[in-house]
Amino acid sequence: MAFEIIGTGRAVPPKKVSNNDLAAQIDTSDEWIRSHTGIGSRHYAEDTVACSDLGIEAALNAMAMAAGYTGENPAERDKAAAEIAPTIDIIILATATADYYGTPSTACIVQDKIGAKSAAAMDITAGCTGFVYGLETAAGLLAVNPERKRALVIGAEVLSKLMNWDDRGTCVLFGDGAGAVVLEKTNAENKGILKTLLYADGSGNESLLMRRGGTRNPFKKGEVIDTGICVEMNGQEVYNFAVGAISTTITALMESPVEGLGNITVENISWIVPHQANARIVQAARRRLRIPEEKFYMNIEEYANTSSATIPIALDEMNRSGKLKKGDLVLTVGFGGGLTYGGNIIIW
Ligand code: COA
């Protein structure tokens, strides 16, 4: 049994905000952001756009590709996606920036809008590792029931709406976007998602969190609220955790033989697709692991950190530009709030 990616898609809001654009609003500079993170710009959703809107667009693009359409015509895209919609059994949407708090899940909103009437739908909260967790969850749900054949896995975020603009060490890092894949259960051998490792270290839960609004810290009647729910982060703690998380995950993925593939060496790997949080984090881990720079796919310069969406956006960019070839061995590695981390080994 194999779990193959048969379609990829992404959706990035057209509004591009450069470091200099931000520097005109808050006390920062292009030089600081680039030198500390490798970020050059990010894309922000319009006020009317929520998480599900980006998730739906990414999903439709992935579904259309699964139906054989990769063109730019919206009507043709939707027609192709509609062919696939009734065949989707599961929708898993990873996000930290859901349309609504708690319920309904953003996945249910996507399910309705894309017409996936037979699909079960749920969200995953695993911070920036959400897509890595989502692939394994979807594969597991496909594996246990012979009647389930296809899953849609989405990472979608509108982080720009949950920033504290007075916290310049955090707000410059994040952007909006979504990526999606269609996963199909097949009888192929040595293809698709071969192995996934998932980890959590909840002792670091306060290093990256949204403190307000939940049952730990609910809003109180009469309380004057001048800062909305926002991402709070201890940058140094997250940095140190992240370098270790990448190193541990890649080492562990390569440590034990993979069924059908044997031992994985750096030479076998076509691409490592890391979560795009900070180019310096990836560099530090890369040096520690002694893996050449060209094995890592990076696009943080354009999009900044789109949390659960960075890996599927990267996969779609690589897929559509022809960088990913059939048979390529791809390692993903994610890390983020929770704290969570993990990675997948995929034969493309
Ligand atoms: N523009 C200009 N200066 C800034 C700034 C910004 N956007 N943000 C912080 N600074 C300043 C600080 O105020 C501080 O100034 P001071 O020395 O005068 O007090 C100085 O830069 C250094 O701040 P510090 O927080 O120590 O920077 P750093 O080298 O640790 O880098 C991060 C900060 C956020 C880039 C880094 O900690 C990081 O990348 N952490 C991981 C974040 C992450 O990836 N999170 C998501 C994980 S999924």
pLDDT at 316: 98
Q: Which residue owns the Cα nearest ligand 1 atom 34?
A: 235
Q: Which residue owns the Cα nearest ligand 1 atom 2?
A: 28
Q: Which residues line ligand 1 (CB under 6 A)?
A: 28-29, 32-33, 36-37, 128, 168-169, 172-173, 233, 235-236, 238-239, 242, 277-278, 281, 305, 335-336
List, by residue number, the catalytic residues.
128, 275, 305
**Ligand 1 atom closest to Cα of residue 233:** 45
CA dihedral for 28, 30, 32, 34, sign (positive or negative): positive
pLDDT at 263: 86
Neighbours of 245 (CB within 10 A): 26
Distance 19 CA to ligand 1 centre (A): 15
Distance 301 CA to ligand 1 centre (A): 17
Q: What is the mean pLDDT of each run of 10 residues along the chain (348 residues)?
A: 97 98 97 98 98 98 98 97 98 98 96 98 98 98 97 98 96 98 95 96 97 90 88 96 97 88 90 98 96 97 98 98 96 98 97
**Ligand 1 atom closest to Cα of residue 174:** 46
Distance 304 CA to ligand 1 centre (A): 15
**Gap between the Cα atoms of 345 and 245, Å rounded:** 16
- Compute the residue count for the chain: 348
User: Which residues fall within 8 angstroms of residue 76, CB to CB, at 6 or more apart?
Assistant: 64, 69
In order, the DSSP letters of 42-69 are EE---TT--HHHHHHHHHHHHHHHHTT-
Probe target for ligand 1 pocket from 239, 240, 308, 340, with the most ligand atoms within 8 Å of CB: 239
